[in-house]
Amino acid sequence: MAERTQILRIKRQQNPNSEPHWEEFEIPYLPHHNVISMLMEIRRKPVTRQGKRVAPVVFDANCLEEVCGSCTMVIDGRVRQGCSQLADHLDPTVTIEPMSKFPVIRDLWVDRSKMFEALKKAHAWIPIDGTYDLGPGPRIAPDVQQLAYLFSRCMTCGCCLEACPQVNSHSKFMGAAVIGQVYLMSQHPTGKMNHDERLQAMMAEGGIEDCGNAQNCVEVCPKGIPLTTAIGAVGRQTSIKWLRDLFMK
Amino acid sequence: MAEPGAIAAPIAAAGMTADERHWLLRRLHSLSGIIPIGGFLFFHIFENAFVLRGGTVWWKETEFTRTIPFQIAVEAAVLWIPILYHAIYGLIITATAQPNNYPYARNFQYTMQRITGVIAFLFIGFHVLSTRAFFYATGTETNYLRMHSFMIDPVYLTIYLIGTLACVYHLTNGIFTFSITWGIAVGPNAQRLVNRACTALFLILAIASVAILVAFRAPA
Amino acid sequence: MRSGARNHRTAFAGATTGQQLLYALDEQVRRYEVGGQVRKFEGWEMLSLVQDESGECRGIVAIDTRSLEMRAFPADTVMIATGGPGLVFGRSTQSLVNTGSAASAAYQQGATYANGEFIQVHPTAVPGEDKNRLISESIRGEGGRVWTYRDGKPWYFLEEMYPAYGNLVPRDIATRAIHKVVFEDKLGVDGNPLVYLDVSHLDPEELNRKVAGVLEIYEKFAGQDPRKVPMKIFPAMHYSMGGLWVDYHQQTNVPGLFAAGECEFQYHGANRLGANSLLSCMYGGDVASPAMINYSKSRKSAASSRIYDSELTRQRESFDKIFKMDGSENAFALWRELGEVMTENVTVVRHNDKLKITDDRILEYKDRWGRIGLNDKGKWANQEVLFVRQLWNMFELARPMTLGALNRNESRGAHYKPEYPERDDANFMKTTMAAWSSDGPRFSWDPVDASLIKPRPRRYDVDKPATEARTAA
């Protein structure tokens, strides 16, 4: 009997400006493989099914434990991390593409910096660190901690942007991740102090109003973060802010 | 994406930042879909439901809608301007969409909302031109006979069936997204509940609309 | 609770404490970035130090991993905080960026590498083809049992070997026991280097409440529910106690070059206690920043631009050579060989003959490195060419690790040599100091100052005497 193999159809692209093309690789099947370890296998023997020696597939990966978010890619049409996509759960042929909502650097490596730019725009930080001792932080109720914890696990991987129909080249929508972080920061007593400026950023073009409520974000989030809850809550906070500003200013 | 300048200009003059303007335009779009447009659709289905009790009852019960003082002004303020705003801004929003086929129910609803929005826009345009605009141009009211003649025409009937169902879907799903946008239904359970209620409402309104349209087929 | 510690000494954030710390740092840096106080060069990799005529560090040369553009970054002081060298061992619990390349580059330019032989192995990791994923000790803390089949029946070997502590023995003891059962007794699961870590006998609801995050990791990456079937685990390289030698101000012996975190050697001696890496990061960073400012102020003259140009030229030439590599070896395959040899011989159990063989192998790999054939000749986002360079740096770092272990004829902390099973304070209570030379590392030994706390035998079977504990405190 022939040895069981895994075929990988990979969408490759030389650089950000070149046209993509497909290449197929065939590697021996191993039960403990995941998509990243299979790409590593290709690096050790970068030869296509047709026997052509090619440059090894370029991909971004680091922690391989769903903490860094860098190996996010589209596998069989669904966005997820390559490191947690087990070979056991794949068909004999798997299709691997880079995320389509981010500029491709090369092959499967994409530039996710727009997500970090969004976090900057939304002032997604809590001003706690300083050059002198600020004393003990405020106490937070356990239920608030638990809620915040859910959002604190966001790894800025980009799944929610990739699956979102409102995130694309002709829209400025920043995606759900940043809304989740704005919500997270608003849970923190110190973070609340700057909540108004975060909401201001959320009210701008590309912010929360550009959400189309397709709710794919919450379905594809590898961490199960309740992003749609954040969208609802931040939506409410902007409603209140607007009314308050209308009558109080 | 360019904001419709005609609408943006006076708001900008009111000392609003670009950020707040974007928020307000979107929220006006969301709100106008419910009040007054959605409200009117409810009323419109309600008033026309009298046709289920016969054309004469229907004509009598809807009499007051034809005797509103300053009719054109009221219609413009309550209907034409909100609908035009909702439609045009809605098309601008739709232009930013890139629907995909992730296999989730809400994603399907998202795509449907945009499709039904475009259909509703075309249908309402057709409907208004052939009824109210026709009246203002010719002085002819769309009475039972005229509606009856439409509904017995299979082409008209099909247009009306698709059009009204699209409007009803767009409204009921719009109530659901409205509840999220404004932060009324925040958590997943609340959203699921509202979504179910809206689905039920869609079914009720859809059945009512179809029944009304079919009822017009009965001879006078 | 962490093993080896009997009091609560760590605040946890769910099952993702390290992740939370990482994100919090990222968040705070973002704040400074927006405030214009920090400029990040993401995706740039350090290649080498720029040193002036007197050997002082005056900046670095780095490469943009996308455009492959090389640039010299002049600096008053330089801080290396690049983490551990996990990739020297092929698959470890560390991330793929942990090549040790920056520390190795500094070492090759004159920075002393200290205590390289002290490598911590974590007893319970899920072996993967790409990396080994840590299964937290909290699993054993909650009642997880380690076993394998012997004569067709489950053998709870930790409980049998160490009746007092059972499954809660410290990391190195558990690691060695698993190693022995697998390699000496040949009792690994299905003949593979694996044993079971079992929580399937415990109440799933209680498990979910206490260690859900850990179990989810196994479920996600191994594809099986540990509440139902025992987990298959094996020890994995986890942490390097050794690293760049630094003084009390975190400065290396290269003036102007500082290091903090896992890439330096200072705080863990021969074995690291759980969470102490965080302590070393925080304390090291706290101490280093004023020291760096003071050092910058003490700088009298600016460096001449010549030194930057010449280092840049040196790096460009070295990349030109890599681009011309046209042999038959594959860099990634060679890396795997290095990892296998290092993991086999320079982790859990060290034998002098095998350490010698390992060093010979490293030399052989260096030779074969010259016969690498580059598959990717592209000048944009070429990961292979970057890796070829990192691989060389791994070889350079693997030598002080291996030879440091060879030289240390005793057993201490994570360093266990069956030929010399006892700790030998008379001869080896010393820091191993390796200085790079073209003929290999040159070693010297620096005595450890133990004048304040007298070393005592490391025992986990009895409580430490109260008086002694008080003195220690």
Domain A113-128+139-248: CATH class, spelled out: mainly alpha
Do C and B touch, counting CB pairs below 8 Å (3 needed)? Answer: no
Rounded alpha-carbon distances, angstroms, from residue A17 to A10, A99, A196, C384? 18, 16, 40, 21
Q: Is A229 on the interface with B (CB under 8 A)?
A: yes
Nearest to B152 by CA among B215, B208, B207, B205: B215
The lowest-confidence range among C15-29, C146-160, C219-233 is C15-29
Q: Is C334 left (phi over 0), alpha (psi -120 to 50) or beta?
A: alpha
pLDDT score for C464: 53
Q: Do B97 and A201 touch (CB under 8 A)?
A: no
Residue limits of CATH 1.10.1060.10 in chain A: 113-128+139-248
For A124-143, what is the mean pLDDT? 86
**pLDDT tens digit string along B109-123?**
999 999 999 999 999
Question: Domains plus CATH for chain C?
Answer: 1-40 (no CATH), 42-118+241-473 (3.50.50.60), 123-237 (3.90.700.10)
Taking residues C253-279, what's their average pLDDT? 93
* Residue A34: other Cβ atoms inside 10 A: 28
The confidence score (pLDDT) of residue A85 equals 96
Closest chain B CA to residue A237: B183
Q: What angle do CA C49, C55, C60 make, to 5 degrees?
A: 15
| Rounded Cα distance, B62 and B45, in Å | 11
Token digits for A7? Answer: 């075929």
Extended strands (E) in A29-137: 72-75, 78-81, 93-97, 104-106, 109-110
Q: What is the pLDDT of residue B3?
A: 43
Q: Which helix (H) or strand (E) holds C154?
A: strand C153-155
Phi, psi (rounded to 5 degrees) for C235: -60, 150
ipTM of the modeled complex: 0.94
Token pair 């909650």 is found at C142
Give the closest of C16, C42, C127 to A153, CB-based: C16
Mean pLDDT, residues A1-10: 87
Low-confidence ranges of chain B (pLDDT < 50): 1-13
Contact by Cβ (8 Å): C270, C415: yes
B19 and A200 within 8 Å at the Cβ level: the answer is yes
Closest CA to C50 of C386, C400, C302, C395: C302
Residue among C115, C114, C108, C112 nearest C47 (CA) = C108
Q: Identify the pLDDT of residue C111.
A: 98
**CB contacts < 8 Å between A and B, how many?**
120
Token readout for A189 is: 């007593």
Partners of residue A30 in chain C, C-beta under 8 Å: 129
Q: Looking at residue C5, what is its pLDDT? A: 55
List the single residue in C with minimal CA-CA distance to A17.
Answer: C380
**pLDDT tens digit sequence for C393-413:** 999 999 999 999 999 999 999
Q: Of the candidates C6, C22, C103, which has an alpha carbon nearest to the alpha carbon of residue C60?
A: C103
Mean pLDDT across chain C, nearest whole number?
92
Kindly report, residue by residue over C436-452, the tens digit of the pLDDT: 999 999 999 999 998 99
Chain C positions in Cβ-Cβ contact with residue A62 (cut-off 8 Å): 95-97
B and A touching (3 or more beta-carbon pairs closer than 8 Å): yes
| Active-site residue set of C | 171
- Asked if C11 has any chain A CB less than 8 Å from its own CB, the reply is no
User: What integer pLDDT is reported at residue C172 of this predicted model?
Assistant: 87
Q: Does A contact C via 3+ CB–CB distances below 8 Å? A: yes
Q: Which of C223, C377, C383 sits opposite A88 (nearest CB)?
A: C223
- A72/chain C closest Cα distance in angstroms: 15
Domain annotation for chain B: domains and CATH numbers: 18-215 (1.20.1300.10)
Instruction: Please give the residue of chain A at the shortest CA–CA distance from B186.
Output: A232
- Residue range(s) in chain A whose domain bears CATH number 3.10.20.30: 5-110
Residue C127 three-state SS: strand
Q: What is the pLDDT of residues A97-130, one digit of tens each?
A: 999 999 999 999 999 999 999 999 999 999 887 7
In this predicted model, what pLDDT tens digit does every residue of C78-125 receive, in sequence order?
999 999 999 999 999 999 999 999 999 999 999 999 999 999 999 999
Please state which of the four CATH numbers 3.90.180.10, 3.40.50.1370, 3.30.110.40, 3.10.20.30 is assigned to the domain occupying A5-110.
Answer: 3.10.20.30
pLDDT for the residue numbered B154: 96
- The C-alpha angle with vertex C91 and arms to C86 and C96, in degrees rounded to 5, equals 60
Banded model confidence at residue C467, pLDDT cuts 50, 70, 90: very low
Contact: A32, C97; criterion CB under 8 Å? no
pLDDT band at A145 (very low <50, low <70, confident <90, very high): very high
Distance from CA of B42 to the nearest CA of A (A): 24
For A44-85, what is each residue's pLDDT tens digit?
A: 999 999 999 999 999 999 999 999 999 999 999 999 999 999
User: Which of C232, C231, C167 shows the shortest CA–CA distance to C199?
Assistant: C231
Residue C428 has pLDDT above 70, yes or no: yes
What is chain A's mean pLDDT, rounded?
95
pTM for the structure as a whole: 0.93
CA distance A82 to A65: 10
Q: What is the pLDDT of residue B1?
A: 38
C99/C46 Cα distance (integer angstroms):
12
